């Protein structure tokens, strides 16, 4: 199980290592290649995982769900602003192909593109 400073990067359903995804802004930044499921970072945090129900692939119902939904909506809004589902904390683990894919997208935030370019350059790719 891998971790980041604030969330886990193993699949809540099957336990396999999640893969970073650099897709459309409305798509999740983490995907499980085994389950074919995607996850937002807010859903990968320890407190959200306590409520995850793998048989229905949801987080249940009740008072705890509303803040999680709001946090995911905010995460989506940030992805839309960036222009991709890829997150800054994922840049160092994205493949060169994924970085190049981001560079071909039309509506990438200029500040985020600078970070993508810096990571691309750090790897010695022209």
User: Is residue 115, in this structure, part of any structural domain at all?
Assistant: yes
Average pLDDT, the chain: 92
**The pLDDT value given to residue 124:** 81
Is the distance from CB of 57 to CB of 39 less than 8 angstroms?
Answer: no
Alpha carbon distance 75, 54 (integer Å): 22
pLDDT in tens, 84-123: 999 999 999 999 999 999 999 889 999 999 999 999 999 8
User: Is residue 10, in this structure, part of any structural domain at all?
Assistant: no
Other beta carbons within 10 angstroms of residue 20's beta carbon come to: 19
β-pair type (30-32, 37-39): antiparallel
Domain of residue 103 covers 19-122
| Count of domains forming the chain | 1
Rounded to a whole number of angstroms, the CA Rg of the chain reads: 15
User: Is residue 35, in this structure, part of any structural domain at all?
Assistant: yes
**The pLDDT value given to residue 1:** 46
User: Is residue 6, in this structure, part of any structural domain at all?
Assistant: no
């Amino acid at each position: 199980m891998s971790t980041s400073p604030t969330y886990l990067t193993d699949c809540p359903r099957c336990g396999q290592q999640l893969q970073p995804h650099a897709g459309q802004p409305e798509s999740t930044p983490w995907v499980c290649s085994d389950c074919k499921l995607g996850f937002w970072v807010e859903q990968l945090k320890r407190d959200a995982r306590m409520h995850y129900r793998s048989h229905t692939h949801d987080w249940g119902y009740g008072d705890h769900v509303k803040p999680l939904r709001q946090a995911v909506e905010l995460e989506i809004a940030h992805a839309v602003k960036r222009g991709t589902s890829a997150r800054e904390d994922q840049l160092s683990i994205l493949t060169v192909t994924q970085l190049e894919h981001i560079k071909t997208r039309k509506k990438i935030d200029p500040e985020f593109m600078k970070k993508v370019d810096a990571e691309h350059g750090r790897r010695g790719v022209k």
